[in-house]
């Protein structure tokens, strides 16, 4: 069978099912609790978190509120960040790790599961170390900042399945009941053939101070979102939420992208643009238009994906209403509320259930890899101010290099 990422840029029928999140669990194993920790419903899953920014700390707090987890270890580059987080989370001092290699020391300290919340350039290396050590992996998005990293994550997901381990990627829009039902109705044909998708992402962006002798200062306060090699850039790191929802609705992968980008923020120092106008084309003729802006202009946060078909339309939103309207009826839907927190809670619970239920389908990996690749495709099209095909993107297989000179190990 072909992989989801083949030379044509199209998904095979099997991988399309995985892409839509409808693949059924195929690996169930009865295990002896004396042989494997964290596989029985009444046992605690012992976890360590790598990356303690605002989101990492939030996930740790929410995890400690879940009856199935025990947070045993934390790691981040900055020692003061680790100490502060450990105090608030009651993590013992001897399970706190810092520096570039803190992730290795955390994994070597023996945990059942590793949560990856560092800047995404780290993810392929951190995930590889965790999988090699026999850990379950819970990862933030995007899964990588470049094509080689994405392909590596895809391989690690498959390797985890073979090793009977869970590898889970945390997207929140895919967890909301109103969005799930809206997309389901679309896939059942309620709006007919889809001709146009529209996605939007608007945010205030993040600080982008002057660079120093090393990248150390870029590794905090989400400054790294401004740097393509460290964080993927604004579109890959943030706009991916809207793109992931749009591709979920579409049920297929783009074959090309074209568009324009520009930088509007005051006194920029990172290389990421903050304005995106991109058009993706699909083999079926479907078109996806994306509009994104990440500047401090008082516009409210907006993350949405809509689809327009022959018989109706659907709207999904990170913060607004999700519903379906059409000539053949619709779905009333409802408001998506507190998705940032609630989505994490649902995903943490789902991750726990997969681990304790021995469900190793790892069906979140390929859709997340594909969404990351789609945003990299859009990033490249915008940077080149022209058409870039999925096939070309994969053939180029361009790696982003991060200069770690002068950083503490």
Q: Domain-by-domain residue ranges, the chain? A: 24-172+347-363, 174-338+372-396
Cα 49 to Cα 59: distance, rounded to the nearest angstrom: 9
Measured at the alpha carbon of residue 337, what is the angle toward residues 331 and 338, in degrees to the nearest 5? Answer: 150
Q: What is the DSSP letter of 173?
A: G
- Region of 156 please: left (phi>0), alpha (psi -120 to 50) or beta: alpha
**C-beta of residue 379 within 8 angstroms of C-beta of residue 247:** no
Q: Report the predicted TM-score, pTM, of the whole model to 2 decimal places.
A: 0.90
Give yes or no for a contact between 143 and 244, defined as CB atoms under 8 angstroms apart.
no
Distance (Å, rounded) from C-alpha 32 to C-alpha 132?
A: 22
Give SS3 for 35: coil
Residue-by-residue DSSP string for 312-326: EEEEEESSSEEEEEE
CA nearest neighbour of 235 among 150, 303, 292: 292
pLDDT means per 10 residues, the chain with 409 residues, are 35 35 32 38 85 97 97 98 96 97 97 98 98 98 98 98 98 98 98 97 95 96 97 98 98 98 96 98 98 94 98 97 96 97 98 97 98 98 97 98 96
**Residue 317 forms beta bridges with which residues?**
304
Structure tokens at 291: 């509009």
pLDDT at 332: 97
What is the token pair recorded at 172? 């929140």
For residue 251, give every residue at least 6 positions away whose Cβ sits within 8 Å of its Cβ, in sequence order, or none: 16, 19, 20, 187
Q: Using H for helix, E for strand and C for coil, what is the string for 245-306?
A: HHHHHHCCCEEEEEEEEECCCCCCCCCCCCEEEEEEEECCCCEEEEEEEECCCCCCCEEEEE
Distance CA 200, CA 290 (A): 6
Max CA pair span of the chain = 63
At the topology level, CATH places domain 174-338+372-396 in Dihydrodipicolinate Reductase; domain 2 (3.30.360)
CA nearest 267: which of 307, 308, 226? 226
The reported pLDDT for the residue numbered 5 is 36
320, 335 Cβ separation under 8 angstroms: yes
The SS3 call for residue 197 is: strand
- Rounded to the nearest 5°, which phi and psi values hold at 189? 100, 15
Phi and psi based region of residue 358 (left: phi greater than 0; alpha: psi -120 to 50; beta: remaining): left
Predicted local confidence at residue 41, as pLDDT: 45
Place of tokens 């290396």: 125
Q: Tell me the C-alpha distance between 159 and 387, whole Å.
A: 34
Structure token digits, residue 174? 């895919």
pLDDT for the residue numbered 43: 81
If one looks up domain 24-172+347-363 in CATH, what number appears? 3.40.50.720
How many whole angstroms separate alpha carbon 85 and alpha carbon 278?
39
User: What is the DSSP code (8-state) at residue 193?
Assistant: S
- Measured between alpha carbons, how far is 333 from 325 in angstroms, rounded to an integer? 10
Query: What is the predicted pLDDT for the residue at 30?
Result: 28
pLDDT for position 13: 33
Two structure tokens written together for 6 = 């083949």
SS3 label, residue 372? helix
CB 370 within 8 A of CB 253: yes
The position carrying tokens 């022959």 is 310
């Amino acid at each position: 069978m072909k992989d989801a990422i083949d030379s044509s840029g199209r998904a095979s029928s099997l991988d399309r099912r995985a892409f839509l999140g409808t693949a059924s669990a195929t690996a169930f194993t009865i295990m002896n609790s004396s042989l494997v920790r964290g596989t029985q419903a009444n046992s605690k899953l012992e976890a360590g978190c790598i990356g303690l920014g605002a989101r990492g700390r939030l996930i740790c707090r929410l995890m400690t509120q879940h009856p199935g987890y025990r947070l045993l270890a934390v790691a981040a580059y900055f020692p003061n960040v680790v100490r502060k987080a450990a105090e608030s989370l009651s993590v013992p001092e001897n399970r706190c790790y810092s520096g570039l290699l803190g992730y290795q020391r955390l994994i070597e300290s023996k945990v059942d599961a590793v949560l990856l919340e560092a800047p995404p350039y780290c993810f392929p290396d951190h995930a590889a170390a965790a999988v090699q050590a026999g850990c379950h992996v819970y990862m933030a998005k995007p899964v990588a900042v470049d094509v080689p990293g994405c392909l590596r994550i895809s391989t690690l997901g498959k390797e985890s399945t073979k090793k009977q381990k869970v590898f889970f990627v945390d997207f929140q829009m895919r967890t909301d009941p109103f969005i799930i039902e809206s997309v389901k109705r679309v896939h059942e044909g309620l709006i007919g053939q889809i001709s146009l998708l529209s996605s939007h992402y608007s945010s205030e962006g993040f600080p982008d101070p002057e660079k120093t002798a090393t990248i150390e200062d870029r590794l905090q306060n989400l400054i790294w979102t401004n740097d393509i090699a460290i964080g993927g850039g604004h579109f890959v790191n943030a706009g991916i939420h809207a793109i992931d929802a749009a591709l979920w609705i579409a049920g297929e992968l783009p074959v090309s992208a074209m568009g324009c980008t520009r930088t509007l923020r005051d006194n920029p120092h990172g290389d990421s643009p903050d304005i995106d106008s991109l058009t993706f084309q699909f083999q079926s003729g479907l078109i996806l238009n994306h509009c994104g802006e990440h500047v401090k202009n008082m516009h409210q946060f907006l993350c949405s994906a809509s689809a327009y078909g022959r018989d109706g339309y659907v709207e999904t939103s990170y913060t607004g209403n999700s519903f379906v309207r059409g000539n053949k009826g619709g779905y009333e839907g409802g408001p998506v509320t507190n998705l940032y927190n609630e989505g994490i809670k649902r995903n943490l619970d789902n991750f726990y259930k997969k681990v304790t239920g021995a469900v190793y389908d790892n069906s979140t990996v390929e859709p997340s890899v594909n969404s990351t690749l789609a945003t990299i495709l859009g990033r490249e099209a915008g940077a080149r101010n022209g058409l870039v095909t999925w096939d070309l993107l994969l053939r180029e297989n361009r790696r982003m290099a991060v200069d770690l000179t002068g950083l503490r190990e």
